Amino acid sequence: MLKKVLGSLILTSIYTFAFDYNLKPTKVSNDVWCFFGELDMPKKENGGFMSNSCYIKTSDSFVLVDTGASYEFAKQSYEQMKKIADLPVKNVLITHGHDDHWLGNSFYKEKFDAKLYGPSLINKEYNENSEIRGVKILQGDNALKTKFIKIDNDIKEATTLNIGSKKIMIVPIGVKAHTSDDLYVYLPDDKVLFSGDMVMNGRVTSNRDGSVIGALKALEIINNQKWDVLVPGHGTDTSKTATKEFVEYFTLLKQRVIEAIEEDIGADEITKIVTMDEFKNKPLYEQLNSRNVFDAFRELEFYEGE
């Protein structure tokens, strides 16, 4: 009997006390606030919160760019933003298909019936029965409420939304970069650009679904856009130097892997030869860099470009 009571109390406590994300919005531009995730892998200790989620304030509503780690994360971020302006969330824009950027969708759909925009790849790769990596680390009620929600409007070409007082452009990058279906969000009047994971800073990236060549092309496109503030998918540098680290990483990665291939270094040795030591003190270097080098080798082994 005592075991049953204790078991019930434990279950009740798990479902009653929500994970506290301890969120504080950072104002990055006149009408833009962001919640910056940890420079770490998603895990139980951070509730999966390791990517950036941003609010754009218009005259009549908030627009979300990437909804973050979970239902509870989205709920708590909205509670913080409501202190700044008591506005609904009518539109949500997702930059790419990795789940750490869209697991908060279920909150905004449930509370506001928000319209979801994003790449078509999300609806192709996921459905209501999918086992989602990010949900596995969540606990209790948060795990139950965090669900896949189908994108309402898949973005296949550059699209301009006029929402309240804001002109918002959603632009597919057109190359395989971080994934095969990335897009960026741009506020031309404010000169603010949201890059998704086509730009990160402060940490080593994961390029498992991407392309070194495509990443460099995407960075060139992004750097040719007129922006004063760039919000990366991960990292906190939103200044004019926001892309510098990523350009350097992929430029050196491409150069060194090609040089190693020309010296007949094989797949079994490439990660010992190309080590990218300039980045060894960055978070996630140990976890991700060797895989990036190996994937770059496979991509560039028969590359004939410049």
pLDDT at position 69 over 90: yes
Residue 171 domain-assigned (yes or no): yes
Residue 63 domain-assigned (yes or no): yes
Give the pLDDT of residue 1: 52
Residue 200 domain-assigned (yes or no): yes
Residue 295 domain-assigned (yes or no): no
Are the beta carbons of 199 and 227 closer than 8 angstroms?
Answer: no
Query: DSSP readout, 93-147?
Result: E--SS-GGGBTTHHHHHHHH-PEEEE-THHHHH--TT---GGGGG--HHHHHH--
Residue 303 domain-assigned (yes or no): no
pLDDT at position 59 over 50: yes
For residues 185-209, give the mean pLDDT: 98
Query: Out of 48-62, 124-138, 234-248, 282-296, which region has the weakest mean confidence (pLDDT)?
Result: 124-138
pLDDT at position 12 over 60: no
State which residues form the domain around 61: 21-245
Query: Out of 7-16, 42-51, 283-292, which region has the weakest mean confidence (pLDDT)?
Result: 7-16
Q: Please give the DSSP secondary-structure letter assigned to residue 171.
A: E
CATH, residue 197: 3.60.15.10
Residue 109 domain-assigned (yes or no): yes
pLDDT at position 15 over 70: no
- CA dist list (Å): 34 to 148, 150, 166, 233, 282: 23, 24, 17, 11, 22
Are the beta carbons of 47 and 142 closer than 8 angstroms?
Answer: yes
Residue 135 domain-assigned (yes or no): yes
pTM: 0.93
pLDDT at position 8 over 50: no
Give the pLDDT of residue 18: 86
Give the pLDDT of residue 4: 52
Label residue 305 by pLDDT band (50, 70, 90). Answer: confident
Q: How many domains does the chain have?
A: 1
pLDDT at position 176 over 80: yes
Percentage of residues in the chain with pLDDT exceeding 90? 93
Give the pLDDT of residue 9: 41
For residues 198-214, give the mean pLDDT: 98
Residue 131 domain-assigned (yes or no): yes
Are the beta carbons of 227 and 191 closer than 8 angstroms?
Answer: yes
For residues 77-92, give the mean pLDDT: 99
